[in-house]
Amino acid sequence: MTTYDVVVIGAGPVGENVADRLVQGGLTAAIVERELVGGECSYWACMPTKALLRSGAALRAARQVPGAREAVTGDLDVAAVLRRRDSFASNWQDDGQVSWLESVGVPLYRGHGRIGADRVVEVTAADGTTTTLTARYAVVVATGSGALVPDIEGLREAAPWTSRETVAAKEVPARLAIIGGGVVASEMATAFSELGSSVTMLARDGVLHLQEPFVGEQVAESLRDKGVSVRVGAEAGSVKRNDDGTVSLTLTDGEQLDADELLVAIGRTPNTQDLGLETVGLKPGAWLTVDDTMRVLGEDGAPVGDGWLYAAGDVNRRVLLTHQGKYQARAVGDVIVARAKGEPADDGPWGRHAATADERAVPQVVFTDPEIASVGLTAAAAEAAGLRTRVVDYDLAATAGSSLHAEGYRGHARMVVDEDRKVIVGFTLVGPDVAEMLHAATIAVVGEVPLDRLWHAVPAFPTVSEVWLRLLEAYGR
Ligand SMILES: Cc1cc2nc3c(=O)[nH]c(=O)nc-3n(C[C@H](O)[C@H](O)[C@H](O)COP(=O)(O)OP(=O)(O)OC[C@H]3O[C@@H](n4cnc5c(N)ncnc54)[C@H](O)[C@@H]3O)c2cc1C
Ligand SMILES: NC(=O)c1ccc[n+]([C@@H]2O[C@H](COP(=O)([O-])OP(=O)(O)OC[C@H]3O[C@@H](n4cnc5c(N)ncnc54)[C@H](O)[C@@H]3O)[C@@H](O)[C@H]2O)c1
């Protein structure tokens, strides 16, 4: 039996950051990983998807600026894009991240981790050998999530692509059908249509429908301009893999759709199926519910045991984004160190050990064409939360910076103001390269910067950021 202060199960971006924070705080930590150190984000999600999308975005940008446009004489080099993707996925080798773990002093146990009893983790290696790890203070579950495959007749037997196979594709299918209209579906429809696939997107509930309404409208319009068949309201009724490898879908309205590959992108399921959750009275396969310091709560709403079990990242379902999971990781690592030292947790709103931003100020960029950058609440969500709001819209194309940035620039900005406090509670930008403009909005929302003070934050001329001034002018002083 091997004992550490803390055992972390799962070495994705979140588990790695938890372990690092613990060691920096003076505790010992071991980490357990059954696949690649770095997790979904490094090999099958954030990094390779953005590599697939970036070349198309760069080409588009050049084509939108006279002078540069004339220098562009060809189309995307698909093989070169896929090679760049491979390198951003580290060729699916984790040596670099393993070296990093070594450098920060975190031992790696390769194998499947399972909770065996209170503070005990059993690790089963690929060769079947088992190692028992004991934690003095805490066990942190950072096992992430996998693709959810719905119960559609014939779908599982048809072995569809999930985000993993799509992101790691060696070839671009001539015809790609996509079930879903969310973030993965929208980004992959953008990437694969630009790489040459004929894409059909079955967006049952709409395109990016949880964002501001103009987001889905602009992304759907742009996808259609690229030749994507965006079928809002369409739903797959059954799926069949044919002998020649193609896939046939029958939609619920009876229509037939044939494709060379099918991507299912309808959300995620937690990696908690075989984690020994039953030993602590929790349901295998369920998302883990946590308090603001990421302590796992039982069905009675109280921390499991004496509070030794934590869960951070996708697995707790608070926010399924890498940066937000890493934010939780910093809070968890620090709070475990504090509690181990007998210090009180600073767990009030915006306290050092509370992941308050998860509820109020989550930034997200969707790397479609146009890009979507948002933080905080949509107008509808703010209203549903009972806030008295005022919504201010502005056409990004009306800024001097945007006209310089690209010819035919199209974009939109929305600011949602809490009228009682005169602070911004939500901000959404749509347009080319708006991703890098998001952090100003995140700071305004997290800092609850009064609108009166924001007038003194002067955007440089001529940048697209001048939209901040225009929004304030539209709001009125
Ligand atoms: C296609 C796609 C694109 C995305 N793009 C972005 C993006 O651009 N930006 C962004 O912020 N987010 C993005 N995300 C979300 C992001 O990938 C996740 O939020 C992030 O990976 C979550 O990190 P995690 O550490 O919680 O889990 P994971 O990255 O899933 O890591 C969990 C790790 O735990 C291991 N594990 C699981 N169970 C066990 C066990 N029992 N024993 C041992 N090891 C175990 C797994 O092998 C894995 O390595 C994307 C997601 C997808 C699917
Ligand atoms: N750029 C980024 O930040 C980025 C990129 C990709 C993924 N992600 C993260 O990964 C997670 C997973 O992405 P995702 O796109 O799989 O999920 P999602 O939750 O974004 O979208 C799922 C979509 O599928 C639809 N849907 C659900 N069940 C369905 C069904 N049975 N049939 C048809 N449609 C159905 C939903 O209405 C929704 O539109 C997201 O939560 C996101 O945070 C982030």
pLDDT of residue 114: 98
Going by the annotation, the residues of the binding site for FAD are 50, 113, 143-145, 314
Q: Is 265 in the pocket of ligand 2 (CB under 6 A)?
A: yes
pLDDT of residue 432: 96
From 70, 76, 75, select the one nearest 55 (Cα to Cα): 76
User: pLDDT band for position 206 (50/70/90)?
Assistant: very high
14 neighbors 328 (Cβ within 8 angstroms):
yes
Q: Residue 408: in which H helix or E strand, if any?
A: none
Ligand 2 centre distance from Cα of residue 366 (Å) = 11
pLDDT digits (tens, 9 = 90+) for 19-54: 999 999 999 999 999 999 999 999 999 999 999 999
Q: Is 97 in the pocket of ligand 1 (CB under 6 A)?
A: no
∠ at Cα 183 (318, 328), nearest 5°? 25
Q: Is 268 in the pocket of ligand 2 (CB under 6 A)?
A: yes
Alpha-carbon distance 231 to 229, whole Å? 6
Dihedral sign computed on CA atoms, order 305, 308, 314, 320: positive
Mutate to test the pocket of ligand 2, among 44, 156, 183, 238 (most ligand atoms within 8 A of CB): 183
Contacts of 79 (CB under 8 A, 6+ apart): none
Q: Is 270 in the pocket of ligand 1 (CB under 6 A)?
A: no
Q: Is 123 in the pocket of ligand 2 (CB under 6 A)?
A: no
Nearest CA to ligand 2 atom 20: 182
In ligand 1, the atom with minimum distance to the C-alpha of 322 is 11
Q: Residues of the chain with pLDDT > 90: what percent?
A: 100
pLDDT of residue 1: 63
Alpha-carbon distance 274 to 277, whole Å? 8
Q: Is 319 in the pocket of ligand 1 (CB under 6 A)?
A: no
- Type of residue found at 93: Q
Question: Which ligand lies nearest the alpha carbon of 314?
Answer: 1
- Intrachain domains 2-43+89-146+269-340 and 370-475 with the same fold: no
User: pLDDT band for position 426 (50/70/90)?
Assistant: very high
User: pLDDT band for position 389 (50/70/90)?
Assistant: very high
402-431 average pLDDT score: 97
- Type of residue found at 388: R
Per-domain residue ranges of the chain: 2-43+89-146+269-340, 46-88, 163-266, 370-475
Structure pTM?
Answer: 0.97
How does the average pLDDT of the chain come out, rounded? 98
User: pLDDT band for position 194 (50/70/90)?
Assistant: very high
Q: What is the CA radius of gyration of the chain?
A: 24
338 neighbors 344 (Cβ within 8 angstroms):
yes
Going by the annotation, the residues of the binding site for NAD(+) are 180-187, 267
In ligand 2, the atom with minimum distance to the C-alpha of 205 is 37
Ligand 2 centre distance from Cα of residue 159 (Å) = 19
Nearest CA to ligand 2 atom 1: 366
Q: 163-266, what's its fold?
A: FAD/NAD(P)-binding domain (3.50.50)
| pLDDT over 90 at 220, yes or no | yes
Question: Which ligand lies nearest the alpha carbon of 206?
Answer: 2
- Report in angstroms the alpha-carbon separations of 130 from 98, 110, 117: 21, 10, 15
Going by the annotation, the residues of the binding site are 50, 113, 143-145, 180-187, 267, 314
157 neighbors 167 (Cβ within 8 angstroms):
no
Contacts of 145 (CB under 8 A, 6+ apart): 40, 268, 269, 270, 271, 314, 315, 320
Q: Is 321 in the pocket of ligand 1 (CB under 6 A)?
A: yes
pLDDT of residue 468: 98
Q: Is 277 in the pocket of ligand 1 (CB under 6 A)?
A: no
pLDDT digits (tens, 9 = 90+) for 299-328: 999 999 999 999 999 999 999 999 999 999
CATH of domain 2-43+89-146+269-340: 3.50.50.60
Q: What is the 3-state composition of the chain as percent helix, strand, coil, each rounded to the nearest 5?
A: 35, 25, 40
CATH number for domain 370-475, candidates 3.40.50.2000, 1.20.120.450, 3.20.20.70, 3.30.390.30: 3.30.390.30
pLDDT digits (tens, 9 = 90+) for 240-262: 999 999 999 999 999 999 999 99
**ipTM strictly over 0.95?**
yes
Q: How far is CA 116 from the centre of its chain?
A: 31
pLDDT digits (tens, 9 = 90+) for 330-371: 999 999 999 999 999 999 999 999 999 999 999 999 999 999
439-463 average pLDDT score: 98
| pLDDT over 70 at 279, yes or no | yes
